[in-house]
Structure formats: C-alpha cells, structure tokens
C-alpha cells in the first residue's frame, strides 16, 4: 500500500530570491502543504493529532535541489507516505506542472509524542493504524 | 512620557526580493522584534500578556516605505509607545545604522481582549498601567 | 470602471501563531497573491513591469484586522484597483470562503520608478494605460 | 583546518507555531544567518560570489531536530565549513545560549555554477581557495 497526494502551488513573488528562484528554505512550506493534504486524506491532520492525545513533531527533514522554481511557475508537490509503523516517513517530489520535470525532492520523519507525559512512542499509536485502516503489526 | 526602544537588525539574505531589496512585508517582522523589545522593557511581553488574562491582537498596522533596505545592511528599528489608555499604539522607524537615513516608518494598534470571554476592552486593563508605572486615568 | 480579482487561499499551518490564528504580518503575502492575480488580469505583472522599463515599489500599505483566520480555513482575497493615474492603489478584502464574513481589509500604494534613472513618475507611464485599455488623462 | 563561526539569535514570536515552538522550516533561516557570517569571515559572501562570476546554489540540506526552541529563547548557531574542494559543505549546530544544550543539527551542500554558462563546476573555482588562503589541490 502506498498513499500519495498531490497539490498545486503557484510560486508567489515573496518566495523568490535575488537570483529569481525560490529560496531553498521555502520548500519546507511546500512540503508542509502537501503533507497536510496527505494527512487530511486519512483524516489525521494536525488538529486531529492533538485531539487524539499526540503531537507528531518532525525529527528529520531533507531536501535535494535539482532545478530551480521561478516566480509564477505552477508546480505540483506530491507527498507519499512510505513508513508508519514506528514513525511517519513522508517523501516529497516537486515537479513542474506543465512538463513534469523534477525540481526538488525531500523527505520528513515525524514521531508520536504523548501530550502530557512528553514521552516519545517507539511504535506508532493505535489511532494512526485506525486512521490508515490497517492492522497494527503484532 | 514617551517610551522608546531600539534594536539592530542585520538584513538577512532570505528577506531580499528579486530586485535586491527587503520585500515590503518583512518589515512586519522587524516591527515585531522592536515591539517585543519595547514590551520587554516594561515586562509585559506576549507571555506576560497571556499570563495576565489578556491577549492584545493587532487591529491595525501601517507601513510607509521611504527607501529600500539591502542584504547585509545594518538597520536600527525604533519602537515608540505613543498611546496606551484605550489601546497600545506603537510607532516604528527603521533607519540605516551607519547614516541614520530613514528607510521605513510604521504604526501598529493593539487592543486588549479578555481571554475566556473574548471581550474587547474599551479601556486598557489595570495590569498595563501597573507595568507602565502610571496611574490609571479616572 | 473597477477591476477586481479574487483568489482562494487555504490557510497553511506555518502561517498560524501560538494563539492559533494567522500571524498579522502574513496578510502581506495574501494581499500580494491577490495583487499579482489582478496585475495578471491586465497583463502587467512584475515581470512585465520590469520589461516595460519600470519598477513599481510599494510606498504605503495598510491592514485592518477584523476577525482572525485559522489553520485550514479557506479564505477568499479580493484585490480591487481603485486608483491608477498617479499610482496603483489597490484595496484588499479577505473573507471566509464559506460564509463571506469579513476577516481583514487593507490597501497598498505603488508608484512607477523608471529603471536606470531611478526617477519616480508623478503620472503613471503610458504603458499602464495601454494595459488597462484606457486613455491617458490629458 | 576547520573554520567555524557562531551567531546569536533571539527567537522571534513570528517563528513560533501553535504548539509554542519554532516551526521546523525556520531553521533554514537560522542556518543561513550563520552561513553568511561564516562566508563573511573569509570575505566570500553571496555578493562576492556573484562578483566573482559564480553562484553557489544549495543542492542538499538536512536538518535533525533534537529539542524545540521557544519564543524569546536565545540560541547560538554555529556554522562549520567541513568540505570545500568540490563543494561547500557546511554543518550547523543550534544550541541554547545559556546551557549549551543542543537543539538542532544540520548540514548544507552548495556547488559552484558559472554565471553565463550555467555550468556546474566539478572542482571549486580558484577564487574559493584564494579566499580561504589555501592551495588548490593538484
């Protein structure tokens, strides 16, 4: 099973640097927009996470820049859930919407932390498996 | 009585647009850095506001752009409290640190909102006058 | 004649502050997204401006905050061109997409600056009237 | 030889998310502030890069989040140049200023691209070795 969601983003002027390309740090925003759409797709976005008694802070993020994105360019960002048993590992791919040319790749890792105790969960909590409609590994 | 605080900011690369000047929206950040230093000067920064039972959301902000700021430029931002009886009105002046040349001016207005009831206060709450060390107008 | 364009924005997580509402400075981004759509509607966006020999820096911006916007809320931002003979004055209105409730209002003013001489134009250059399909006032 | 520079950052309110901690993407800004100070230390910051005929776009960035940073917290960001022969590889460490506790680690990789031809350089150009005061490897 692979869960993937795509969102479209029109690169805004305020994301572009003096060289005329998207400043590298802004891809964290594009990734998050796609990640939230992915989490929405199984009804476990940030608000739901907190309501379920868990935060899921990022512990790792990586970005690889292949080609620049420009002001006004329409890009597609795909977020794919690739791991969920002990963490949420999500991969990202930003492509030019018209040509499909790959622009940026990335990955993020989140782990469940129980609200109150602040305790990190070595295995994802039951609620995630329920949302994903999958049995918890025994 | 006039309360003024100044902070120094070194313009970072990620605040500069394709023309090589600070993108106009980023001055809201510079204003806030100076505003927080001003609020700290009378021990009533955002955390203290909330602890005192009030939020102080902005209801108005204005910016006038005189000259551009550039990457690597050191600027000074002065925040001055000009009104406090019914709101917090703060004026801002951004100047080049070396020459004193004025770059941007602005103003923000905040009002007290009681946490819980969400009720807006027509007169600033007692705690503000205490912090400012001033009698409440009768 | 009045020119208006509307865009939809889904409030992203990274625009929301500790109180759970859009941080006031981020509306400058929402305004710009609507402004660029408006400029696109008469084919005179930032790239075209520069190609025509002019920059149009902002000299004034104002924002009035009526109600907060929340993470995940869909908002509509309308940009309306209200003045163009000596400057580009644009008004903004951010509303909740579902109910139409007004959240934030604002205004920006830009003036033409000739690239090269850096000279500010007291009257908008011919190219703007051409793009707008309107005669230049005599 | 190892080149390291440290900068201090006071976490601003607008960098903090709804949970009260610095939003993960903002560390790209903190890294850049430290990176620019490091590049300044051998007089080869972004402006100098361009003047020398090269851009140095990031091709890779990684962040590992250890502990959260909070509004008003003073943090120190150290940038260390760890590789320069074929790329600029820089490591980052964000620590609490008072206790030295490690908060976030990271790394970025930049490669030289010749302005005009847009050609990527497999070996760093002479100008970098000059700036670093080191012989070019033969």
Chains touching chain B, criterion 3+ CB pairs below 8 Å: A, C, D
Pull the structure tokens for residue A82: 């690739």
Q: Report the distance separating Cα B114 and Cα B87, nearest Å.
A: 13
User: What mean pLDDT is reported for chain B?
Assistant: 96
3-class secondary structure, D76:
strand
Strand C54-55 vs strand C113-114: parallel, antiparallel, or unpaired?
A: antiparallel
Q: Report the distance separating Cα B39 and Cα B46, nearest Å.
A: 8
pLDDT in tens, chain A (138 residues): 569 999 999 999 999 999 999 999 999 999 999 999 999 999 999 999 999 999 999 999 999 999 999 999 999 999 999 999 999 999 999 999 999 999 999 999 999 999 999 999 999 999 999 999 998 887
Judged on CB neighbours under 10 Å (0-12, 13-18, 19+), A57 is: middle
Q: Report the distance separating Cα A124 and Cα A13, nearest Å.
A: 39
Chains touching chain A, criterion 3+ CB pairs below 8 Å: B, C, D
pLDDT in tens, chain D (138 residues): 569 999 999 999 999 999 999 999 999 999 999 999 999 999 999 999 999 999 999 999 999 999 999 999 999 999 999 999 999 999 999 999 999 999 999 999 999 999 999 999 999 999 999 999 988 887
CB contact under 8 A, C71 and A32: no
Q: Which domains does chain A have, with CATH numbers?
A: 3-132 (3.10.129.10)
3-class secondary structure, A26:
helix
Radius of gyration of chain B from its Cα atoms, rounded to whole angstroms: 16
Closest-CA residue to A57 (of D104, C85, B21): D104
Radius of gyration of chain A from its Cα atoms, rounded to whole angstroms: 16
Pull the structure tokens for residue C118: 């850096």
Strands (E), chain B: 3-10, 54-55, 58-65, 74-83, 88-96, 102-110, 113-114, 119-120
CB contact under 8 A, A71 and C46: yes
Instruction: Please provide residue B16's backbone torsions phi and psi, each rounded to the nearest 5 degrees.
Output: -100, 135
3-class secondary structure, C130:
helix
| Candidate from A14, A20, A25 with C-beta closest to B23 | A14
Chain mean position to CA B52? 19
D98: CB partners within 8 A, 6+ apart:
D74
Closest-CA residue to B3 (of B42, B32, B36, B31): B42
CB B110 within 8 A of CB B88: yes
CB D58 within 8 A of CB A62: no
Interface of D with B (CB under 8 A): 10, 12-14, 28-29, 32-33, 36, 45-47, 71-72
Q: Give yes or no for residue C119 having a pLDDT over 80.
A: yes
Helices (H), chain B: 27-41, 46-51, 126-132
3-class secondary structure, D86:
coil
CA distances from A123 to A58, A128, B1, C4, D105 (A): 15, 10, 59, 52, 24
Pull the structure tokens for residue D100: 């030295």
Instruction: Quote the ipTM score.
Output: 0.95
pTM of the model: 0.97
| Candidate from D13, D33, D47 with C-beta closest to B46 | D13
What pLDDT digit, counting tens, does each position of A64-104 carry? Answer: 999 999 999 999 999 999 999 999 999 999 999 999 999 99
């Amino acid at each position: 099973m692979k869960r993937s969601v795509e969102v479209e983003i029109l690169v805004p002027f305020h994301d572009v640097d003096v060289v005329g390309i998207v400043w590298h740090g802004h891809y964290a925003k594009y990734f998050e927009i796609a990640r939230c759409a992915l989490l929405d797709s199984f009804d476990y976005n940030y608000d739901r996470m907190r309501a379920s008694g868990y935060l899921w802070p990022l512990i790792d993020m990586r970005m690889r820049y292949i080609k620049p994105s420009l002001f006004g360019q329409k890009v597609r960002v795909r977020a794919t859930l690739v791991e969920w048993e002990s963490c949420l590992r999500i991969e990202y791919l930003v492509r030019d919407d018209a040509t499909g040319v790959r622009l940026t790749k990335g990955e993020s890792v989140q782990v469940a932390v129980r609200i109150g105790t602040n305790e990190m969960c070595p295995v994802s909590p039951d609620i995630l498996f329920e949302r994903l409609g999958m049995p918890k590994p025994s």
